[in-house]
A and B are shown apart, each in its own frame.
Chain A
């Protein structure tokens, strides 16, 4: 099974600043990677699939990049509603696997 490792575990950023979250796969997953956002008490929400394609209704301040084993989720100018936990998930190999999450908190 492919192991997905996210870093950092917690990221403290001020509103209006840029946040960069990382996700590393233990072997290549090509561009078959998704990002999800989860707020407390809520279900996850799909942000990005195909490593860089925004899901329907996702603001342009969210962007994804990378391929192979290294991926990045960038939030260009943090809004108050963006503070949440973010998960990456590979779907290139069976079974798919999630990272352990990065908690984005207000600095």
Chain B
């Protein structure tokens, strides 16, 4: 059974930083692309960042480019999202998602339960 367990969320002041982690199990982590998708309170889904299976290629939504950095450790089956210069607009539940790379992008066949990031003073 695929399991994705996020951690690292919490309350942070505007301009601060946070590092999210996702621990994966139940599948061969190194064979799959992975992504973070977020959901602001009461809002819809927004893709944030994605990594190729090797970690050699990462990409970002325009809204976070230059502020967020995605990395993965295939030896430890973990995915990390370093978030810097956080603003109120980054307040959301952040989901780790196993991605199926098709066409030009991905769809997401398994999701973690999410970790809440709140940016507030």
Contacts and interface: CB of A to CB of B under 8 A. Distances in A.
Interface of A: 30, 32, 34, 36, 42-46, 49, 55, 87, 89-101
Contacts of A96: 47, 105-107
B102 A98 contact: no
A98 B44 CA distance: 8
A34 B105 contact: no
A90 B108 CA distance: 11
Nearest to A33: B107
Given A43-B95, A43-B112, A45-B111, A98 B46 contact: yes
A50 B103 CA distance: 10
Contact of A93 (B37, B104, B111): B104
A89 to B, nearest CB: 6
28 contacts: A32-B102, A32-B103, A34-B107, A36-B45, A44-B37, A44-B95, A46-B109, A49-B100, A49-B107, A49-B109, A87-B44, A89-B45, A89-B107, A91-B102, A91-B107, A92-B103, A92-B105, A93-B103, A94-B105, A95-B47, A95-B61, A96-B47, A96-B105, A96-B107, A97-B47, A98-B45, A99-B44, A101-B44
The B contact surface, by secondary structure, is strand
A43 B104 contact: no
A30 B103 CA distance: 10
A43 B100 CA distance: 17
Interface of B: 37, 44-47, 59, 61, 95, 100, 102-114
A44 B108 contact: yes
